[in-house]
Structures are given as C-alpha cells and as structure tokens.
Amino acid sequence: MLSVFFIPIIILCTGMVTSILWLFILYITSGLGMAGVGMGVMHDAIHGAYSNNSRINKFVGYTMNLIGANASVWKVQHNVLHHTYTNIDQADDDINTPFFLRFSPYAKRYWIHKFQYLYVWLFYGLSTISWITMKDFVRASRYNKMGFFNKKNEFKKQLISIFSWKVLYYSYALIIPLIVIPLPFWVIILAFLSMHFVTGLSISLIFQTAHVMPNTEFQQADEEGVIDNSWAVHQLVTTSNYAPSSTFFSWLIGGLNFQVEHHLFPTICHVHYKSLSKIVAKTAKEYDLPYLVKNTFAAALWSHVKMLRKLGKA
C-alpha cells in the first residue's frame, strides 16, 4: 500500500501529467493507497504489532506522519482513549463528534441529527482533511491538558514535530505538483482534496461500522469513572466484526474486519486475527458472552446506517 500511495505522488511530482483526467486518477489512486497505509502497516506498527522490534514499529509508525497526520497524537487518541474506553461517552474520541453528528445515545440530540444518515458521508470524506490541517494541533493541546505530553518541553516538541511533518507532507503532496504540473492551480487543489476525500471515507467506513452499530453497547462511566463490565467483556459488547469469510477484503483493510480480535489483542499482528477469531468465538459462547459479527461488509454498512437513523431520532 505504500507503493500505491507514493508511486502516483512521484509521477505527479515529475510534472509529466498534463491531463485533468490523469491528475484525478493518480491522486485518487494515491488516496486509496493512503487509506491502505492507515489501515495496514501504520495501524499495526503504532500498536506495536508490526514487528517484535520496537524500533522497527516506531520507524514504520512514522508512515502516519508521511500521509499528513501525526503518530504521537494518533497513539493517544486511538491506542489509549479508543481502545481503553471504547464507546464510552466523553471518553472515546472516536464517538466524540462535532455537534452536527451524534454517535452515542448519551450525546445531546439536536433536530439536525434526524438527517445525519444522509450527510454523514460528506464529513467522513472530510475527516482526513481535518487531520492534515488543525485536528492534530487541537488534539495535542487537549491531550497535553489531560497529562499525556507533560514531560519537560514535550508539548512544545510535539507541536514543532506536527508542524514540521505537515510542511514535508504538503511539500511533496501538493506544493511540488502545483509548481510543475501545467494545469490550473484550483484543479490541482481539487484533485488533492479528492485524494483525501477517498481516504477519509474509506477509513471512516471501516472503523465506524465496527462500533456505531445497533447491536453494540454504549456506556457512561459513573461519578467515579467506573463502568459495569471488565475490560475484556466491554470490548466484546462494544465491538462488531464483519465479512469474516472474505480473505481478500481482510487483506485489503489490514484485518480490521476482525475488530473484536483486534480490540482484545491489539499488540498481535492482524495476519493472525482470522485464526484467533475461531478461538474467541468459541470462548465467548462457552461463557455465554456476545460475539458480534455481520456476514458481509454491506450488511455491516446497512446496520451502521440504521444506527445513525436511530441516534437521530431518539
């Protein structure tokens, strides 16, 4: 997937592209590769699951920075907050959304949420555009206040790192193509945005169909920050698999159709999830615990739509 992302970008940077059609084809192809990087090598590496060598994991994790986001911020948002507090209102940043979206029954409901199942796709597509602009800075500031970047000068270094990596990313993904490609600048910018729209839509659909579902649970912690279930049981009741029989689809999305196994064993490489799923399903049945799964991605997507409608009504 790194090749699918970088090869079109390299071609664009040569200035050989003179056709608007090929400009969009190359950027959109790169967007698919970017999504693949985010769901595959980067995701495994930041979880420490790509290699037994922590240095290799850290190095490969920097692919997150190469696609315009930031590995350190993602690690807090995803590894710590999402994986620890899955589907817990105000704790899981994956369901802490802007006011015009409602991903938890405990979030305040507005009239506009009745239509979120229609317009959410636009904001899914815009999600990585938010990443490459302000989201990393905003979240780094919030996480600093939460105590995550509290070592001496660590927060300042994080901000410098975020800014520097974004300068590098914009340089090769947009600035050089703007300079060397003999097409109107607004067309090149539109093609660049289309790349990110494809990436954002792809990643959002894969991740949100595992948690914002009619059969997954949403919880609130009590005044002492405690929930009813143990951590492992909590992962089972808040997470759903889909398309378990599709080997190609599983390869394509970095094994993230086996989200139950990923949440239970986040430091194990995704290539083992399918084998693990048989053990997890059997054990869940043995202890009368839920094991949530949809047979196809289409079924999961439709259930996600139904949940968005439900959250918009009540």
The terminus-to-terminus CA distance of the chain in angstroms comes to: 41
**What's the pTM?**
0.92
Same domain, 31 and 146: yes
Check: CB of residue 22 under 8 Å from CB of residue 181: no
Are residues 168 and 248 part of one domain? no
Q: What residue spans of 15-92 are helical by DSSP H?
A: 20-39, 41-46, 54-61, 63-66, 71-74, 83-84
**Contact indicator for 90, 68 with CB cutoff of 8 Å:** no
CA angle 249, 213, 278 (to 5 degrees): 50
Q: What is the pLDDT of residue 129?
A: 94
| 160 and 246 both lie in a single domain | no
Cα 14 to Cα 113: distance, rounded to the nearest angstrom? 45
Looking at the fold, whether 174 and 116 belong to one and the same domain comes out as: yes
- What per-residue confidence (pLDDT) applies to 229? 85
Q: Which parts of the chain register pLDDT below 50?
A: none
Residue 152 lies in a domain: yes
Q: Tell me, what's the pLDDT at 95?
A: 93
Task: Give yes or no: residues 63 and 171 share one domain.
Answer: yes
Q: Are 255 and 39 in contact, with CB atoms under 8 Å apart?
A: no
Cα–Cα distance measured from residue 48 to residue 270, given in angstroms and rounded to the nearest whole number: 11
pLDDT at 239: 98
Contact between 51 and 214 under an 8 Å Cβ cutoff? The reply is no
At 2 the pLDDT is 80
Each residue of 132-174: pLDDT tens digit?
999 999 999 999 999 998 888 889 999 999 999 999 999 999 9
Answer whether residue 222 is part of any domain: no
Structural domains counted in the chain? 2
Whether the CB-CB separation of 177 and 13 falls below 8 Å is answered with: yes
**Residue 118: other Cβ atoms inside 10 A:** 12
Looking up tokens 């196809």 gives 296
| Cβ-proximal residues to 16 (8 Å cutoff; 6+ apart), any chain | none
One domain, residues 202 and 253: no
Residue 94 covered by a domain: yes
Residue 129 belongs to what domain range? 2-208
Please state, in angstroms and rounded to a whole number, the distance separating the CA atoms of residues 27 and 211: 30
pLDDT, tens only, 215-237: 999 998 877 778 888 999 999 99
Q: State the pLDDT at residue 215.
A: 95
Q: How far is CA 111 from CA 95, 99, 100, 104, 309, in A?
A: 19, 11, 9, 15, 12
